[in-house]
Structure formats: C-alpha cells, structure tokens
Amino acid sequence: MFDKILIANRGEIACRVIKTARKMGIKTVAVYSDADKNALHVEMADEAIHIGPPPANQSYIVIDKVMEAVRASGAQAVHPGYGFLSENSKFAEALEAEGVAFIGPPKGAIEAMGDKITSKKIAQEADVSTVPGYMGLIEDAEEAVKISNEIGYPVMIKASAGGGGKGMRIAWTDDEAREGFQSSKNEAASSFGDDRIFIEKFVTQPRHIEIQVLCDTHGNGIYLNERECSIQRRNQKVVEEAPSPFLDEATRRAMGEQAVALAQAVDYASAGTVEFIVDGDKNFYFLEMNTRLQVEHPVTELITGVDLVEQMIRVAAGEKLSISQQDVKIDGWAIENRLYAEDPYRGFLPSIGRLTRYRPPQEVAAGPLLADGKWQGEAPEGATAVRNDTGVFEGGEISMYYDPMIAKLCTWAPTRAEAIEAMRVALDSFEVEGIGHNLPFLSAVMDHPKFISGDMTTAFIAEEYPDGFQGVTLDGDSLRRVAAAAAAMYRVAEIRRTRVSGRMDNHERKVGENWVVTLQGEAFAVTIDADKEGSTVTFDDGAKLRVTSDWTPGDSLARLDVGGAPLVLKVDKITAGYRLRSRGADLRVHVRTPRQAELAALMPEKQAADTSKLLLCPMPGMVVKLDVEAGQEVQEGQALCTIEAMKMENILRAERKGVVSRINAGAGDSLAVDDVIMEFE
C-alpha cells in the first residue's frame, strides 16, 4: 500500500479523498491555487503545495505544475477526484512515465471512453444496449422513412452539425419523418452550412440512471447497483438517489451486467460509472462512461457500505477486489442534495462571497456505512444517517474561479420515504448565509409530489419550474404550524423585554395572551396558554397546537415540536416579528396584539420601486465590457454589457427597446447585486 498520495483536486472531493486516505493510514498531499490558500482541503492534508494562480487553467489542470508537486512531495500515487485532470489520459501517461500510480483507470480505458463515437462502437461490440440509430448519411426523405421504420417510432432526426435544438425534429409517423427530414436538412444547411442528417430512436420519458462499476487489475469486475440522477437543471445534476425508485431487479441486473461487460471490454480497473438513459418502459440505452469517481458516489456508498475511494486506492495499489458481486447488497435508501452557491430566486445565477455563516446539520452515522466506513450489516430500526461532504467552512470565501457546488448533503434511512423526510429536516437545519444558495429549492423538490412518488424524468425541473423558482407557498396546515411557533417564540421574546432594568415597580408591562400572527398574506388570531414546558396555541376556530422548544431569543435556528411533529425554522429578527425560513418558504411573519394588528392593517401596501428603467447587476461580478454608450438607442435583446462572475461571462441584454440615458459603471468595475449599471430614458 502507498505511504503518501497526492490529491490533484480541490473542494469537497479533495477533502473526501483525504478522509479515506487518513483512515487507511496514508499521508496526503494537497495542491492549491492562490485562491485556495486558506481552503479546507489545504488545512486537512498533511502537506500542501502551491501550484499557481486562481484560474484552473493556470493551476489545477496544468499537468506540468501538478507533476512538479508530485515530484516535490514524493507521493506514490495521485487521486484526481472528478473534473480537472481526472479524465485526462495525458496526465495518466505523465504519471506512468514517472512511475507514480494513477488512482483511476488505465489510460487506454480513459481514451476509449473519452470519445462519444468510439465508446458507442465499443459498447455495441460488447452487446451493450445503445440508442438505436443510423449513423450514416441519409440521402432523401424516403430513405429517412425507411430507416425510421427500422428503428421504430418515435425517432429523432438530427443535423450532425447540430446543436441548441436547431435542425432537430421528432417524428412519430412516416409523414412526420418525411417532413422532418426535409425541414431539418434545410435548417441545417442554413444554420450550419452542413446538411448531413442522421436518425436515432427518440427516448420518451427519459430518466438518467447510472451504474457504478468497480474493477481491479486482475480481471475482476462488479457493479454496485444504480444511482438515479434524473433531477437535473441544464444537465447539471441536483438531486441523486440510490437505488432508483424505478428499476426492478431484472433491469438492474441486466444494466449492471452490461456495464461490467463494457468496463471489461476496455480493461477497466478502478471505479467507474456507466450512464444510461432509461425510457418509460424500462428500456435502457448506453449514454457514456465516466472513467472517474462520480460526484454522487456517496449515495452508492451509503446503501452498499463500500468506500469507493478506498477501493480505488486498493485497486491502484494492485490489490484484488475483496468484494464479490454476491456481497453487494442494497441496504436502505440514500438521497443526495447538491448545495450550490447559486441563487434560485435569480434564475440560479452564481453567487460569490464570504460565507458569514455555514452550519451544516450534525452528521450522523447509521446504515451500512458507519463512521469508520466499514460494512456493519443491518442498521438499527428507525435510524437515519446524515452525511455532508463539503470543502468550505464558516468564514471561508466562495470564489468566482471554481464550480459553485459547495456541499453534498446525503441522508440515508431504511426506506425512501424516511430518507426524504430526513433530508427535509437536514435541509431546514442547514444554515448558510452570506451568499445566495439553492437550499430553498432543494427543500421544494423534496416536498414535490412527483419526486415523492418517484415519477420523474430528466425534464422534471424544466417542466415543474418553467418560470424558475419563486419560493414555496406553504399550505394551510404548515402555515398554522409556523404561525403557532412564531407566536410562542415572540411571546417569550416580549416577556424578556419586560425584564429590563429601570422599570417602574408595580407598573410593569403585562404581556398578553392574545396575538395576531400575519404571514403569507393570512392572519391568524391566536391565544397562548403557556406553562413551564411550553405553550398551547389556540386558533380562533378552536384548533390547538402545542409548541415546545429550547429556543431562546437570538438563536438563529429554532428546533421546535409543534403539535407532536418536529419543525425546524431559520430565524431572523425583523420589526415586530421574524423572518422564518423552512421547507423552501421564506416568510416575513409579524406577531402583534389584536389592537396593533388592527392599526397595522390601516397601513398602505407600498409598491416596490420601479426598476424597469434601470439595468441592475444580477450577480456580484466584474464589468468586462460595455456594449453601448449613453444616448444610444437599443433594441430588445441587444447586448448591453458583459459581467464576469464565477468564470462565466454573462451578457446582459435589453429587455425592451429604449434609449440609454446614463451609464454608471465602467469596464473593470466590481459590482454588487442590484448595483445600477445603466439607466434608460
């Protein structure tokens, strides 16, 4: 076994690898860019080597710099994590040349699977189910119809140079195929100057389900079941789970066996993932193979008890797999939610800045993968596990240079429903402040009926949130629970206010029992009957909710029991109430005496300021360039300026025709959210 390994990565995955290495008694070397000088992975590793400036193309993905670090540290092996150099065969080659082990597959496997066409060919040869289609060029419409019939409808007619939906048609009948072929061809010719067309099976109700494989250098290969990753936003996975709620044992085995066959066809040795697209009838088709550790690997670990990083290290050290296919079980259910530094209320734009608060939920070991990562057999009844893979810490900085994913929160429980419930509570207890993040969106997904039923496709987010995410509206029952909690909390805080020094003896303020709670546009009149253990909140229709909690004024997280069920609230004080966040809802809750509420109702609703004549900066970033000048007339959709944030250039466009009256920012300026960039007449 190795004495020392280098992790050619950053963030949560570097930390993840370090944890296992440490458990195995292996020393670790981290590499870091200028932006990561104080990062968690640097802190956790035994050694850390600086490899350059912040942009990844000047540090983390520069093979020479990483190789220098390898040499300087004397590491015997390198774990590449995911992304960066993980699927770069040149890097594997460079390591090989130095006699340093690559904790990943052989370079031949990387190369073979790295190319879409080659990998599909190899898959076909290995009898792996691929999307049926005709790769050759199609002469005319009649040939297109013939081929479509061979493949079976529906089919997708695609321009080979295509992209962005251009030159793409779906056909369900001969007529549609004929027509689709012609229009695709015309569109392809005009859009790309290349009218070559091909046809493949159109997969309906597609789900993204992938198989985890593990192979050693001795010809052994196993599959560790599947992961369902259908909840995606623009091909970026957001929620994953294992097992899939959709697969049956036969399909699972068929997919698993084909995945292993494919891996072995390319002499694969390490952990790898074979991605499939699965249609509504459980037909599955090979998509591609990822020759690395996958981001969502923890869910597999949680249901199988196998530490994949440990297995990768052992395989790289030449060990034989100690697990056979029979050993691989599915124990319970695991769900992963990816926490992104992306603001769901602003179209998921990246958000950067200082994490002024970062308090993940308490990690709890349960199920097959206990804290020591060893298989422990059956979990005790009712136990749920919480695991948070993270690369950040409170007071750390989310920079614009890297992936906006900052943590992977996983829960495990014996059943899917329990795992989802554990995730809801974990999300509610996860405190992240200082940056925009998708926690409320994740909460919303966890409560979505389609997700709960397991009936989802890769189009879930696009279909269910077509206009983006505006936060969750709580239903009547949840609203009452929050109202009861807020009233009980507010009363406690008001009583504390009356205990101030300097008050008039015998003329103290008496805090009353009757309150009106307003939230989400509704008002609840309640009476609070408090005793030492808690408060009984009675609504005006006679319904009662008992509220108990150890919350004290000033706590930013309230863990309550309301009506016998737990409720976790994020609490911020506002005038006469609280801002409460729970289950994806973000509520301004006011608690007032009946008289105060009566007077508050007289106050006019204020209209938000009209910003339609302003161009506001949608994210913190730097102005790269301005495309217009003051006095210029602009058309709807015309580029106005470019803002760079999170290594992305975002072009801001005119929403409507108008004339620029003033420009308040210049190239190179750093802007905050809602800074006014320009004004229109």
Partner 1 sequence: MKDILTELEERRGGARLGGGQKRIDAQHGRGKLTARERIELLLDEGSFEEFDMFVAHRCTDFGMEKQRPYGDGVVTGWGTINGRQVYVFSQDFTVLGGSVSATHAQKICKIMDMAMQNGAPVIGINDSGGARIQEGVDSLAGYGEVFQRNIEASGVVPQISVIMGPCAGGAVYSPAMTDFIFMVKDTSYMFVTGPDVVKTVTNEVVTAEELGGAATHTRKSSVADAAFENDVEALAEVRRLVDFLPLNNRSKPPVRPFFDDPGRLEQSLDTLVPENPNSPYDMKELISKMADEGDFYEIQGEFAKNILTGFIRLEGRTVGVVANQPMVLAGCLDIDSSRKAARFVRFCDCFDIPLLTLVDVPGFLPGTSQEYNGVIKHGAKLLFAYGEATVPKVTVITRKAYGGAYDVMSSKHLRGDLNYAWPTAEIAVMGAKGATEIIHRADLKDAEKIASHAADYEARFANPFVAAERGFIDEVIMPHSTRKRVARAFASLRNKRTERPWKKHDNIPL
For the annotated catalytic residues, the residue numbers are 288
Residue list 383-442, contact with partner 1 (CB under 8 A): 393-397
Q: Identify the residue among 97, 117, 250, 504 touching partner 1 (CB under 8 A).
A: 504
Among 139, 466, 542, 606, binds partner 1 (CB under 8 A): 606
Of 498, 611, 635, 661, the one binding partner 1 by CB under 8 A = 498
How many degrees, rounded to 5, is the angle at CA 423 between CA 418 and CA 424? 100
In the set 97, 117, 565, 602, which binds partner 1 (CB under 8 A)?
Answer: 602
Of residues 61, 383, 576, 676, which one binds partner 1 by CB under 8 A?
576
Q: Which of 326, 362, 575, 612 binds partner 1 (CB under 8 A)?
A: 575
Query: Which residue in the block uniquely carries the two structure tokens 């949608």?
Result: 618
190 binds partner 1 (CB under 8 A): no
Q: Cβ 539 to partner 1, closest distance in Å?
A: 22
Q: Which is nearer to partner 1, 355 or 488 (CB)?
A: 355
- Euclidean distance between the first and the last CA atom of the chain, given in angstroms as a whole number: 70
- Closer residue to partner 1 in complex, CB, 257/394: 394
- 532 is a contact residue toward partner 1 (CB under 8 A): no
The residue (of 39 and 385) whose beta carbon lies closer to partner 1 is 39
The sign one gets for the Cα dihedral 115, 121, 127, 133 is: positive
Rounded least distance, CB 259 to partner 1, Å? 44
Helices (H) and strands (E) in the chain, counts: 17, 39
- Residue 480 Cβ, how far from partner 1 at the closest point, in Å? 24
If one asks whether residue 453 binds partner 1 (CB under 8 A), the answer comes out as: no
**Segments of 344-461 assigned E as strands:** 349-350, 353-354, 357-359, 385-390, 397-398, 405-413, 431-433
d(CA 417, CA 409): 17
* Contact between 554 and partner 1 per CB under 8 A: yes
Helix, strand, or coil here: 599?
A: helix
Interface with partner 1 includes 206 (CB under 8 A)? no
Residues that contact partner 1, how many (by CB under 8 A): 42
User: Segment near partner 1 (CB under 8 A), from 207-215, 250-258, 280-288, 498-506?
Assistant: 498-506
Q: Which helix (H) or strand (E) holds 527?
A: strand 522-530
C-alpha span between 219 and 265 (Å, rounded):
10
- In whole angstroms, the minimum distance from the beta carbon of 580 to partner 1 comes to 16
Could you tell me the two tokens for 92? Answer: 């594997």
Closest CA to 171 of 154, 192, 150: 154
Smaller CB distance to partner 1: residue 8 or 48?
A: 48
User: What is the spatial distance between Cα 231 and Cα 444, in angstroms, rounded to a whole number?
Assistant: 12
Using an 8 Å Cβ cutoff, are 8 and 17 in contact?
Answer: no
Residue closer to partner 1 by CB (options 453, 575) is 575
Nearer Cβ to partner 1, position 450 or 579? 579
Binding flag, residue 234, partner 1 (CB under 8 A): no
115 counts as binding partner 1 under rule CB under 8 A:
no
Instruction: Report the 3 state secondary structure along 211-248.
Output: EEEEECCCCCEEEEEEEEEEEEECCEEEEEEECCCCCC
Touching partner 1, residues 15-74 (CB under 8 A):
37-38
Establish if 611 lies at the interface with partner 1 (CB under 8 A).
no
SS3 label, residue 42? helix
Q: Which is nearer to partner 1, 393 or 655 (CB)?
A: 393
User: What does the alpha-carbon distance between residue 672 and residue 655 come to, in Å, rounded to a whole number?
Assistant: 21
Query: Can residue 497 be called a binding residue for partner 1 (CB under 8 A)?
Result: yes
Residue 600 as a binder of partner 1 (CB under 8 A): the answer is yes
Torsion-angle region of 478 (φ positive above 0: left; ψ -120 to 50: alpha; else: beta): alpha
Report the residue from 97, 117, 250, 500 that binds partner 1 according to the rule CB under 8 A.
500
Q: Does 668 bind partner 1 (CB under 8 A)?
A: no
Which is nearer to partner 1, 362 or 506 (by Cβ)? 506
Regarding 509 and contact with partner 1 (CB under 8 A), the answer is yes
Stretch that binds partner 1, among 106-114, 122-130, 522-530, 594-602 (CB under 8 A): 594-602
- Out of 163, 318, 468, 512, the only residue in the binding site for partner 1 (CB under 8 A) is 512
Name the E strands within 180-313: 197-201, 207-215, 221-233, 236-242, 270-278, 284-290
Stretch that binds partner 1, among 138-146, 219-227, 348-356, 523-531 (CB under 8 A): 348-356
Token readout for 99 is 């006699």
Nearer to partner 1, 536 or 593 (CB): 593
b/e for 585-598, b at 16 or more Cβ within 10 A? bebebbbbbeeebe
677 near 652, Cβ under 8 Å?
yes
CA distance 633 to 640: 11
Q: Pick the closer one to partner 1 by CB: 157 or 571.
A: 571
**Closest of 425, 458, 451 to residue 439, by C-alpha:** 425
> Degrees (nearest 5) of the Cα angle 350, 354, 355?
90
Minimum CB separation from partner 1 for residue 621, in Å? 16
Nearer to partner 1, 116 or 496 (CB): 496
* 3-state secondary structure (DSSP) of residue 98: helix
Exposure letters 153-169 (e unless 16+ CB within 10 A, then b): ebbbbbbebbeeeebbb
- Closest distance between partner 1 and the C-beta of residue 38, in Å? 6
SS3 191: helix
Please choose, out of 45-53, 373-381, 458-466, 570-578, the segment that lies near partner 1 by the rule CB under 8 A.
Answer: 570-578
Segment holding 494, helix H or strand E: helix 476-497
Q: Which stretch binds partner 1 (CB under 8 A): 6-14, 127-135, 161-169, 494-502?
A: 494-502
Question: In this structure, how many other beta carbons lie within 10 angstroms of the beta carbon of residue 616?
Answer: 13
Binding of partner 1 at residue 507 (CB under 8 A)?
A: yes
Member of 354, 559, 579, 653 binding partner 1 (CB under 8 A):
354
CB of 93 to partner 1, least distance (A): 36
Q: How far is the CB of 619 from partner 1 (least distance, A)?
A: 18
Is the CB of residue 276 less than 8 Å from the CB of residue 255?
yes
Q: Does 544 bind partner 1 (CB under 8 A)?
A: no
Q: Is the peptide bond before 53 cis (omega within 30 degrees of 0)?
A: no
254 binds partner 1 (CB under 8 A): no
Give the DSSP H/E element, type plus range, for residue 410.
strand 405-413
What's the rounded Cα separation, in Å, for the pair 486 and 592? 11
Closer of 97 and 500 to partner 1 (Cβ) = 500
Binding site for partner 1 (CB under 8 A): 37-38, 354-357, 393-397, 496-504, 507-510, 512, 552-556, 573, 575-576, 593, 595-596, 599-600, 602-604, 606
